[in-house]
Amino acid sequence: MKTHAAPVVIRDRGQLADALETELGFYRTLYVLLDRQRDWLADGRDQDVSADFAEVAGLQQQIEGSEQRITAARTSAPDRFCEWTQAPEVVGVVDKITDMVGRCREVVAECERLAGQRLAAYRRELDAMGQGRRLLAGMAAGDLTPRFLDERP
């Protein structure tokens, strides 16, 4: 993860557009990471998913820093900020960020669905292991009577 220099105070619409472009880059990188996690969840590569959490957390911190800069500009000069947000270059970047946030949310929803399926599969495996342990415990105790295993989860 790159480290960034001290935040620059936003003083005009060009700097606001630049700050938003930087934030857009963070969201694009986040989308790539989330998309990769979705693929790993679909393939059952759980350990790879957990390795990406540090990168996602780092991006989250960068996005928060960027949002704090933009909020500081909005609160320090609300009239000028309102004027800057009407500029075509700012509107275009904001539209792109909105699109990327929507795409990230869709991928997160898919990841949550896939993770839920993985969790259900793990629970089924644990239940099956528990049934096997009970059977082995009965056999170890010398109880060799026939047993019927319940197929219920």
> What number is the average pLDDT over the span 110-129?
88
Confidence of residue 108 (pLDDT cuts 50, 70, 90): very high
> What number is the average pLDDT over the span 66-74?
88
Q: What is the pTM of this model?
A: 0.71
Residue 1 confidence (pLDDT): 46
Would you say residue 87 has pLDDT above 70? yes
Question: 59 near 104, Cβ under 8 Å?
Answer: no
**CATH number corresponding to 13-113:** 1.10.132
Residue 58 confidence (pLDDT): 87
Closest Cα partner for 3 from 57, 62, 90, 84?
62
Residue 141 confidence (pLDDT): 66
As a whole number of angstroms, the distance between CA 35 and CA 68 comes to: 26
Residue 8 confidence (pLDDT): 63
Q: Where are the domains of the chain?
A: 13-113
